[in-house]
Structure 1
């Protein structure tokens, strides 16, 4: 299991986890769901709020863009913007 980015904010009790993908196509929502599973396996931070950050070279598929609109724990970074 690999997580590209992990940061811990002890003051605000947040666990920030991120995934970077440098593919020639937009990122799929499955990357987000896989990241959730990976983050849940990190021991010792069960009482921390998780923030998920995704970095994509070529944008995101519509499903993950729409998913992001309803969440405050997901941040998308697109190199095209």
Structure 2
């Protein structure tokens, strides 16, 4: 499971399963599969625009590839307007 969204007010954070993804998987593919982006092209635009973080770390490279799902379990994936501090 990957946790998605932002938890500013202590609410529960939506989760999605990565069990159906084929690994290795690129970050933009994961974003598209999560439903946080409307598709791969939208995911790439969000990444390039500085709007994606994984566990608090800004993702700027659309080519980041995760070899297996174990590296993502329990991580928080955020997509929003300019997450740069």
Task: Assess same fold via TM > 0.5.
Answer: no
Structure with the greater alpha carbon radius of gyration: 1
TM superposition score normalised by structure 1: 0.26
Greater fraction strand: 1
Taking structure 2 as the reference length, the TM-score comes to 0.25
